């Protein structure tokens, strides 16, 4: 998976490549799909949600240029696979998921794998997680038509936020940097994610 889908497509950050080699993706996939764990595609994890394609996980992670001392906020824990990758590359990951059964399953996997630098919260991630802000990096793993304002507020100056921005069928993976003089936006590539729900999400609740 790593050679064909990650390195071959241009991911260069050695730390990211190493994390993808080390985190056992099959543990995060429902048992009946385990044999497809390392395929080049997203997979269903139940509740109408997906575990993202390995390349997209690598690309989003690389774009954040994480340092070992960084605090990261993730919106959309899903299977917990992306969370576990981030946890290998940063000091602590705060992750928010709105679907209880998914979060419960992800927490079990983190425990089984002995990952201790992850804190989880059940709730609306478009509100962020103010208590532990500011974050050096924020990743949103569901599609939105706007950048939720609380996330911009909770990003540290110099911090990076990556998210799929666009409509409900297709989006552009977008990297936002919070600079002294405002936000700098960079478009990375086209993508297709499930919608970000909640107060500031695609479908306002
Ligand atoms: N990165 C995940 C992985 O590796 O498995 C994939 C995440 S999946 C594509 C998107 C997740 O975002 C879903 O689990 C969904 O329930 C969650 N989600 C959508 N809106 C949310 C919100 N407002 N707050 C928290 N989670 C949300």
In tens digits, the chain (205 residues) has pLDDT values of 999 999 999 999 999 999 999 999 999 999 999 999 999 999 999 999 999 999 999 999 999 999 999 999 999 999 999 999 999 999 999 999 999 999 999 999 999 999 999 999 999 999 999 999 999 999 999 999 999 999 999 999 999 999 999 998 899 999 999 999 999 999 999 999 999 999 999 765 5
Query: Which residue, by CA, sits nearest to atom 9 of ligand 1?
Result: 50
Task: State the SS3 of 2-30.
Answer: HHHHHHCCCCCCHHHHHHHHHCCHHHHCC
| Ligand 1, pocket-test mutation among 46, 55, 118, 141, most atoms within 8 A of CB | 141
Please report the atom of ligand 1 found closest to the CA of residue 196: 20
Distance of CA 125 from the midpoint of ligand 1 (Å): 9
Residue 153 parent element (H or E): helix 149-154
Distance of CA 181 from the midpoint of ligand 1 (Å): 31
Distance of CA 50 from the midpoint of ligand 1 (Å): 8
What is the CB < 6 Å shell around ligand 1?
A: 49-52, 75-76, 78-79, 81-82, 96-99, 102, 124-126, 141-142, 193-194, 196-198, 201
Query: Which residue, by CA, sits nearest to atom 17 of ligand 1?
Result: 76
Distance of CA 141 from the midpoint of ligand 1 (Å): 6
Distance of CA 75 from the midpoint of ligand 1 (Å): 6
Q: What pLDDT was estimated at residue 24?
A: 97
Give catalytic residues, as residue numbers. Answer: 52
| Ligand 1, pocket-test mutation among 51, 60, 76, most atoms within 8 A of CB | 76
134 preceded by a cis bond (ω within 30 of 0): yes
Cβ atoms 141, 45 nearer than 8 A: no
Q: What pLDDT was estimated at residue 168?
A: 84
Cβ atoms 180, 162 nearer than 8 A: no
Q: What pLDDT was estimated at residue 151?
A: 98
Q: What pLDDT was estimated at residue 204?
A: 57
Query: Which residue, by CA, sits nearest to atom 12 of ligand 1?
Result: 76
């Amino acid at each position: 998976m790593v050679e064909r889908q990650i390195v071959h497509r241009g991911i260069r950050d050695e730390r990211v490549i190493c994390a993808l080699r080390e985190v056992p993706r099959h543990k995060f996939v429902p048992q009946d799909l385990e044999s497809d764990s390392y395929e080049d595609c997203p997979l269903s994890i139940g509740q109408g949600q997906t575990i993202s394609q390995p390349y997209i996980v690598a690309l989003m992670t690389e774009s954040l240029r994480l340092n070992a001392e960084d605090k990261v906020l993730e919106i959309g824990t899903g299977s917990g696979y992306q969370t576990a990758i981030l946890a290998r590359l940063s000091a602590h990951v705060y992750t928010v998921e709105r679907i209880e059964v998914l979060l419960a399953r992800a927490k079990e996997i983190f425990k089984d794998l002995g990952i201790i630098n992850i804190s989880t919260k059940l709730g609306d991630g478009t509100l962020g997680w103010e208590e532990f802000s500011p974050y050096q990096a924020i990743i949103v793993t569901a599609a939105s038509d706007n950048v939720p304002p609380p996330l911009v507020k909770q990003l540290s100056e110099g911090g990076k936020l990556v998210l799929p921005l666009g409509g409900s069928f297709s989006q552009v993976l977008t990297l936002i940097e919070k600079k002294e003089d405002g936000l700098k936006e960079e478009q990375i590539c086209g993508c297709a994610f499930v919608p970000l729900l909640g107060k500031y999400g695609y479908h306002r609740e």
